[in-house]
Structure 1
């Protein structure tokens, strides 16, 4: 009886494996949907649209973008987590949600590891540490020294409570030991207005928000927080070049499928994404949008998530960051 049970189990597993292979061979035979947790525009939506057109050509079926903003990203994340794991409904995931929301929200309706199968890392976007010209510093070292000598006298802007600019600046504070006062805004537009007016002295945000003001001299760009200098601000050093290698802040965008998606389907998607991002015209479009392409395979993408989850959680809890 036991032998029959084991044999039956092995037969079932073998049949399931064969079905997955057959399914993968015919996949895809209809359009693929990229669910985006943000409205049109911005890093996440831009990354989705950078991928959709070339992936359509590479994989042989239409790849369409479906923006589902709402509930700090949870609308899209929950939708994909509950979707059929067949490779036709995929999530364009944003680091601010994927590793930030688990620490910001007590009862999250999705799990960042268990509910998704990583397909690939797509893009990253650096941030820039910018200050108003009234701050008497010329580089990052001078700024840190000045801030330490004047605790609580500098105000920093963010795009809102729990935003990447908020969490990232708290990371900077914890890394350097400086003390600055948080002033939250509803988006980067009003934040930049007050920084340009000198009512708030510091803003750590993405290049599209700050680049033109740094180029014009209305703000001082002290450092880029990524691995490389930004092509639009070649004279602004990285934090490592500026003497602070321990601080990096990059926002990333990755592609994920619902957990349980057959491994052959994930493999086909991964290879198709890799080919799509390697096309020269995709890099040209990414450069024009100020986005850096950075493909990573599923294992490396999963490792990135697992590495950042405890780090973001520690920063958020230590700084007592909430969405309210």
Structure 2
């Protein structure tokens, strides 16, 4: 028994030393960073400057690999199947992590079990905007107008299962508005139809909708952040207007395959926190309306689980589905 105990203790010590050495030497080769969306999208706004920072700081290439398709599921699934060694990472919007499991049938992975959260990078609020022809100056007037339509009113979104879609469904449910959902293949075509008056309202991120608010082509009604955005200081939050349930964000986070050694996760997180606090990224945060998000993997994990519980309930209550 003593011999067995000594053998187990030696094996444990050897594994600790091995993992420590792995973290100390990481990275010693190219790191692939999968972004499960087309190039140029919002996830790239966080991913590309982060990859540049990591390359310059750690001395090895961090290469962005855009693998679009399946609402973010294709690229995300590829990461879950990768070796858990820190050389394949994921930067994605929230959809494949906390929404898709509730709206897609036959998911091939469980993001809460198959991925290790490292850090949130950007978290931007959504803005409820209306075409100027909608006869409402504020949220109270808009809701009264929607109720007057008795089910003959619609809202657009950037696609089924997106935060924009489910935030609209949450608004629909909380206020019993009876709106029909019109999904588009991305923000650009949805905004185009909003500008053209083909849809009356939509929720979209500050990243996508700010240019059209500034130009006066759409009118902002309310914002989903906990407090007013510096980008839109005159636009009230839903909480101010009596609907605190409508706190919602489009967020973009960094993940690794599950079972990636904690020492490696912590090393990536520490360098990422430096990036988030850098003057270069402060400009990106200011332009997108994101708050400071430097945090630990443990706190980001709690946030991801809370978001998953929230949006799974919204999907269930609204009957939202992609299939």
Give the TM-score normalised by structure 1: 0.92
Tell me if the contact between 2:72 and 2:95 (Cα under 8 Å) persists in the aligned partners.
no
* Mapped pair 1:14 → 2:13: yes
2:37 paired residue number? 38
Q: Cα deviations across residues 276-296 of structure 1 (Å, max 9, x unaligned)?
A: 111112211343355555222
Tell me the SS of whatever aligns to 2:155: strand
1:189 paired residue number? 188
2:62 paired residue number? 63
Q: Which moved more, 1:309-318 or 1:279-288?
A: 279-288
Query: How is 1:63-212 mapped onto 2 (pairs within 5 angstroms)?
Result: 63-212=62-211
Query: How is 1:206-285 mapped onto 2 (pairs within 5 angstroms)?
Result: 206-285=205-284
- Count how many residue pairs are aligned between Structure 1 and Structure 2: 323
Q: Distance in 2 between matches of 1:189 and 1:93?
A: 19
Tell me if the contact between 1:37 and 1:73 (Cα under 8 Å) persists in the aligned partners.
yes
Q: Distance in 2 between matches of 1:124 and 1:43?
A: 11
**Unaligned segments of structure 2, at least 5 residues:** none
Q: Quick one: structure 1 residues 34 and 228, their matched pair in 2 at CA, closer, same or farther if it must change by over 3 Å?
A: farther
Q: Cα deviations across residues 230-263 of structure 1 (Å, max 9, x unaligned)?
A: 4443322222233322211101111111111111
Q: Quick one: structure 1 residues 309 and 284, their matched pair in 2 at CA, closer, same or farther if it must change by over 3 Å?
A: same
Tell me the SS of whatever aligns to 2:112: coil
Q: Distance in 2 between matches of 1:122 and 1:62?
A: 20
Query: How many angstroms does 1:210 deviate by?
Result: 2.5
Give the TM-score normalised by structure 2: 0.92
Q: Distance in 1 between matches of 2:185 and 2:7?
A: 59
Q: Distance in 2 between matches of 1:39 and 1:190?
A: 15
Tell me if the contact between 1:155 and 1:200 (Cα under 8 Å) persists in the aligned partners.
yes
Query: How many angstroms does 1:17 deviate by?
Result: 0.8
Tell me if the contact between 1:215 and 1:233 (Cα under 8 Å) persists in the aligned partners.
no
Q: Cα deviations across residues 200-226 of structure 1 (Å, max 9, x unaligned)?
A: 211111224332332333322011112
Query: How many angstroms does 1:87 deviate by?
Result: 1.0
Q: Distance in 2 between matches of 1:188 and 1:282?
A: 24
Q: Cα deviations across residues 37-61 of structure 1 (Å, max 9, x unaligned)?
A: 1111122111101211122233332
Tell me the SS of whatever aligns to 1:315: helix
Tell me the SS of whatever aligns to 1:227: coil
Q: Cα deviations across residues 28-84 of structure 1 (Å, max 9, x unaligned)?
A: 212222111111112211110121112223333222211111222122112111111
Tell me the SS of whatever aligns to 1:251: strand
Q: Distance in 1 between matches of 2:120 and 2:208?
A: 23
Tell me the SS of whatever aligns to 1:113: helix
